[in-house]
């Protein structure tokens, strides 16, 4: 299984753990990933990393769709691709949620299914440079002819000769969007995937691949997990609970929270309701305490190396092509050994 390293997004200050990235590349990791919410962006750090590495793939997990027009996203990723030497970039895209889309970006939530489809289609047209880009979509059209338009928009073709084969991965989790991901994208960044849920998605993916006339080997599936090497499993699980409580309880509106829906799908509906109730009541410590150990453990790899190695087998057998880990230097080294990466010879 390919391994990736997740850097995420910044806190109050942006610090890129460049030595960890270089170590991951040296040990045979396939990719490094950045994220964005409403602080640091996902693309700029990858340009910096590209200048200090040679071959590791550079992925966004994810670009927030509302933050850029599809043409702008295509330009940015094509620029990064050329700066990195070509064929190293993975463009991961996700819709975020309505609170961020409308509250931070000032864009309408609209109909995400059709917006994603239009977005991906336009990006691929931009990269292909076969003709000036036009698109008549349900959510996004080029040239724009809606309210406020002068009606003189001109179809254009990129000045930069771009790589037409930049892979697009979509961060999705609902049945309709997972099917669409397999149909139109090159890879999948599943939300909240754990090995036990693999069977839920397999039919949806196969249906999408069939509709897109694609073979399974043409489609990557890259999930993510936290890794902590420690003898104190309970303490490690407890340290992961605040993040889970934040996302399940407060990262989204009470009626639209994809992280809570994922927790419900994994069979923890009662706990999800309780976490959200407590978090929205500003009882955050109680919300954290309400996160079940079993839920955390099923989605993470924590404990001594032997325990992690045994539990990693389920991830290997789940149908994924890659696993992105979040962890420190010890975790990076341990997972390279556990995943039996091909270490380059000095």
333 within 8 A of 5, measured Cβ to Cβ: no
**What pLDDT sits at residue 265?**
85
pLDDT of residue 343: 53
Digits of tens for pLDDT over the chain (346 positions)?
A: 999 999 999 999 999 999 999 999 999 999 999 999 999 999 999 999 999 999 999 999 999 999 999 999 999 999 999 999 999 999 999 999 898 999 999 999 999 999 999 999 999 999 999 999 999 999 999 999 999 999 999 999 999 999 999 999 999 999 999 999 999 999 999 988 999 999 999 999 999 999 999 999 999 999 999 999 999 999 999 999 999 999 999 877 777 888 898 899 888 999 999 999 999 999 999 999 999 999 999 999 999 999 999 999 999 999 999 999 999 999 999 999 999 997 544 4
**CB-CB contact of 188 with 172 (8 Å):** yes
Per-residue model confidence as pLDDT tens digits over 279-317 = 999 999 999 999 999 999 999 999 999 999 999 999 999
Q: CA nearest 280: which of 260, 297, 266? A: 260
What is the pLDDT, as a whole number, of residue 88?
98
pLDDT for 253? 76
Report the pLDDT value the prediction gives residue 51, as an integer from 0 to 100.
98
> What domains can you pick out in the chain, each with its CATH number?
2-227+304-338 (3.20.20.30), 231-302 (no CATH)
Q: What is the pLDDT of residue 117?
A: 97
Q: Could you tell me which of 190, 194, 176, 262 has the C-alpha nearest to residue 219?
A: 190
Rounded Cα distance, 192 and 27, in Å: 26
Cβ–Cβ under 8 Å, residues 192 and 266: yes
């Amino acid at each position: 299984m390919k391994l990736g390293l997740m850097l995420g997004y910044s806190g109050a200050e942006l610090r890129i753990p460049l030595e960890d990235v270089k170590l991951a590349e040296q040990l045979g990791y396939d990719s490094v990933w950045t994220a964005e919410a409403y602080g640091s962006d996902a693309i700029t750090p990858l340009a910096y990393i590209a200048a200090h590495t040679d071959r590791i793939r550079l992925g966004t997990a994810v670009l927030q769709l509302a933050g850029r027009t599809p043409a702008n996203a295509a330009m940015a990723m094509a620029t990064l691709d050329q700066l990195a030497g070509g064929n190293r970039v993975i463009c991961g895209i996700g819709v975020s949620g309505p609170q961020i889309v409308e509250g931070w970006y000032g864009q309408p939530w609209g109909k995400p299914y059709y917006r994603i489809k239009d977005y991906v289609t336009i990006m691929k047209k931009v990269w292909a440079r076969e003709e000036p880009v036009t698109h008549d979509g349900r959510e996004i059209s080029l040239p724009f002819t809606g309210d406020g338009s002068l009606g003189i928009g001109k179809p254009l073709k990129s000045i930069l000769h771009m790589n037409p084969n930049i892979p697009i991965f979509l961060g999705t989790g609902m049945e309709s969007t997972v099917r669409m991901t397999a149909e139109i994208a090159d890879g999948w960044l599943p939300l909240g995937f754990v090995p036990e849920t693999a069977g839920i998605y397999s039919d949806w993916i196969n249906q999408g691949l069939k509709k897109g006339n694609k073979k399974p080997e043409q489609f990557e599936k890259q999930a993510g997990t936290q890794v902590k090497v420690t003898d104190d499993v309970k303490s490690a699980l407890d340290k992961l609970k605040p993040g889970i409580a934040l996302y399940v309880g407060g990262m989204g509106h009470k009626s639209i929270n994809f992280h809570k829906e994922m927790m419900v799908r994994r069979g923890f509906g009662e706990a999800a309701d309780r976490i959200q109730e407590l978090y929205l009541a500003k009882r955050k410590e109680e919300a954290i305490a309400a996160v079940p150990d079993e839920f955390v453990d099923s989605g993470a790899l924590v404990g001594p190396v032997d325990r992690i190695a045994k539990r990693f087998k389920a991830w290997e057998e789940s149908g994924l092509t890659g696993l992105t880990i979040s962890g420190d230097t010890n975790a990076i080294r341990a997972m390279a050994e556990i995943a039996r990466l091909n270490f380059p010879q000095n």
